[in-house]
A and B are shown apart, each in its own frame.
Chain A
Amino acid sequence: MLRGLWELTWLETKIFLREPLGAIGTVVIPVVVFLLVGRAIGRSAPASPGATAFLRDGLPVLASLFIAINAVLSLVTIISIYREGGILKRLRATPLRPQTILTAHVLVKLLFTAVTLTLMMLAGRRYFAAGPDVPVIAFGIALLASTLAILSMGFVIASVVPTARFAQPIGAVIFYPMVVLSGLFVPLDIMPQWLRMLARLLPFTYVVSLLQGIWTGGSWSAHVGDLAALAVVCVVCTALSARVFRWE
Chain B
Amino acid sequence: MAVVHVAGVRKTYGRTVAVDEVSFDVQEGEIFGLIGPNGAGKTTTMECVEGLRKPDRGTISVLGLDPFRDVYQLQDRIGVQLQQAHLQKRIKVWEAVHLWASLYRKPIGDGDVLLEQLGLADKRNAWFMTLSGGQQQRLFIALALINDPHVVFLDELTTGLDPQSRRAIWELVRGIRARGKTVFMTTHLMEEAERLCDRVAIIEHGRIIDADTPQGLVDRHCPERSVVLVTGDPLAEERFRALPHVDEVLRADAQFTIRGRGDGFVTAVIQCLAEHQIRVSDFRTVLPSLEDVFLKLTGHSIRD
Chain A residues proximal to chain B, CB less than 8 Å: 3-4, 7-8, 11-12, 14-15, 18-19, 82, 85-87, 89-90, 92-97
* CB proximity of A11 to chain B, nearest CB, Å: 6
Contact A15 B91 (CB under 8 A): yes
Asked if B80 is an interface residue, CB under 8 A from chain A, the answer is yes
Beyond A4-B103, A7-B98, A11-B91, whether A97 also contacts B85 by CB under 8 A is: no
Docked pose: A7 CA to B98 CA in angstroms: 9
**Quick one: which of A14, A18, A95 contacts B104, CB cutoff 8 A?**
A95
Docked pose: A103 CA to B82 CA in angstroms: 23
* CB proximity of B70 to chain A, nearest CB, Å: 11
Contact A94 B86 (CB under 8 A): no
Docked pose: A14 CA to B127 CA in angstroms: 12
Contact B52 A96 (CB under 8 A): no
Contact B82 A90 (CB under 8 A): yes
CB neighbours (8 Å) of A97 from chain B are 72
Which residues of chain B from 66 to 90 have any CB-CB distance to chain A below 8 Å in the complex? 72, 75-76, 80, 82, 84-90
CB neighbours (8 Å) of A19 from chain B are 90
Main secondary structure of the interface of B (DSSP, over half): loop
* CB proximity of A130 to chain B, nearest CB, Å: 36
Beyond A15-B91, A89-B52, whether A94 also contacts B84 by CB under 8 A is: no
Contact A86 B104 (CB under 8 A): no
Main secondary structure of the interface of A (DSSP, over half): helix
Q: Mark B157-169, 1 if CB is under 8 A from A, else 0.
A: 0000000000000
Contact A94 B52 (CB under 8 A): no
Asked if B50 is an interface residue, CB under 8 A from chain A, the answer is yes
Beyond A7-B98, A7-B102, A11-B91, whether A93 also contacts B72 by CB under 8 A is: no
Docked pose: A15 CA to B99 CA in angstroms: 13
Contact B99 A87 (CB under 8 A): no
Docked pose: A18 CA to B102 CA in angstroms: 22
Beyond A11-B91, A95-B72, A97-B72, whether A4 also contacts B102 by CB under 8 A is: yes
